[in-house]
Copies of this chain bind each other. A is one copy, B any other.
Amino acid sequence: MGETVRWLTPEEQRAWRGFVRLHERLGGRLGRLLQSESRVSPADFAVLVHLTDTPQGRRRYQDLARALEWEKSRMSHHIARMAGRGLVVREECAEDARGAFVVITDAGRAAIEAAAPRHVQAVRDLFVDHVTPAELRVLAEVSERVLAKLDEDTV
A-to-B contact residues, CB < 8 Å? 3, 5-8, 11-12, 14-16, 18-27, 29, 69, 117, 120-121, 123-124, 126-128, 130-131, 133, 135-147, 149-150, 154
Check if A23 sits within 8 Å of B18, measured CB to CB: no
A61–B108 Cα gap in the complex (Å)? 41
Check if A126 sits within 8 Å of B143, measured CB to CB: no
Q: Specify how many copies of this chain sit in the oligomer.
A: 2
A29–B19 Cα gap in the complex (Å)? 16
Whole-angstrom distance between the Cβ of A129 and the nearest chain B Cβ: 9
Check if B69 sits within 8 Å of A120, measured CB to CB: no
Check if A146 sits within 8 Å of B127, measured CB to CB: yes
Check if B146 sits within 8 Å of A16, measured CB to CB: no
What are some 27 contacts across the A-B interface (CB < 8 A)?
Answer: A5-B117, A5-B121, A6-B121, A6-B124, A8-B123, A11-B140, A12-B136, A15-B136, A15-B137, A15-B140, A15-B143, A16-B123, A16-B128, A18-B144, A19-B23, A20-B27, A21-B147, A22-B147, A24-B69, A25-B150, A26-B150, A126-B150, A130-B149, A135-B138, A135-B141, A138-B139, A139-B142
A36–B5 Cα gap in the complex (Å)? 19
Check if A131 sits within 8 Å of B126, measured CB to CB: no
